[in-house]
Amino acid sequence: MADTMLGLRDINTYYGKAHILHDLSFKVKTGEVVALLGRNGAGKTTTMRTIMQLARPRAGSVQFESQDITRWATHKVAQSGIGYVPEERRIFGDLTVMENLEVGRQPARDGLPVWTVEHLFELFPNLAERRNNRGKQMSGGEQQMLTIARTLMGNPKLLLLDEPSEGIAPVIVEQMAQTLLEIKAKGLTVLLSEQNLHFARIVADRAIIIESGSAVFDSTFEELETNPEIRDQYLSV
């Protein structure tokens, strides 16, 4: 058993009065790719934001490696080695591709592959051609690649991907799955949220289903296959 990289324990997060996450607990082990499944509004994005401390949990703790990062400043969380790719991509539209990458740059970390601009351009050849274009001039798919590349520039140990396949043409989604498999092969630990079960199954080792802010299923995809009730109840396929 590999050791735990990320652990959420009894997390409760609110937006104003709305109680979004209810006693959410789960773990991600080093080297693992875990898919957070669940439909719109189940709390996947809030989970990601809570890990980044962009949403402050009112109760519970987030453990990263050996540290309790609850209530840390967001930039400290990022500096400790968690890379976050938000749902809406959030490219810096007025900055060029190169500049977007520069914002994400952080020093290399021990025992991890070091991402350079060159590596990233190998991984995302489209970006290389557009290196001097501004973010807002790029298509949705290119922006999605840029936002992942930008986060990889921080040499994260753990990558959080919020709905990477959303709103992207299927052809690009297939490319994206390929890319994620390459990233996984480099030894990165990944937590991704998805609504697309089929995409998730290709890239992830394990599935956690969130419903109304709590984890209702945490096991392998094979297990999920044999459990159609769970699938039908919690995933809007």
Q: Helix, strand, coil % (nearest 5) of the chain?
A: 35, 30, 35
Per-residue contact string for residues 197-226; x = within reach of other proteins by CB under 8 A: xxx--x------------------------
Query: What is the chain's length?
Result: 237
Is the CB of 41 or the CB of 187 nearer to other proteins? 41
Among 62-70, 125-133, 195-203, 220-228, which window interacts with other proteins (CB under 8 A)? Answer: 195-203
Residue 147: count other Cβ atoms within 10 Å of its Cβ: 24
Q: Which residues contact 112 (CB under 8 A, 6 or more apart)?
A: 155, 157, 187, 188
* Contact pick of 61, 106, 175, 179 for other proteins (by CB under 8 A): 106
Instruction: Write down the least CB distance from residue 42 to other proteins, Å.
Output: 9
Site string for other proteins, 51-90 (x = CB under 8 A): -x-xxx----------------xxx--xx----x-x-x-x
We find the least distance from the C-beta atom of residue 91 to other proteins, in angstroms, to be 9
Q: Taking CA 148 as the corner, what is the angle to CA 142 and CA 152, rounded to the nearest 5 degrees?
A: 140
Question: Can you tell me the distance from the alpha carbon of 131 to that of 121, in angstroms, rounded to the nearest whole number?
Answer: 9
Residue 181 neighbours by CB distance under 10 Å: 12
Place of tokens 């599935």: 207
CB of 110 to other proteins, least distance (A): 17
| Sites of contact with other proteins (CB under 8 A) | 14-17, 39-41, 52, 54-56, 73-75, 78-79, 84, 86, 88, 90, 92-95, 99-100, 102-106, 139-140, 150-151, 154, 166-170, 173-174, 177, 196-199, 202, 236-237
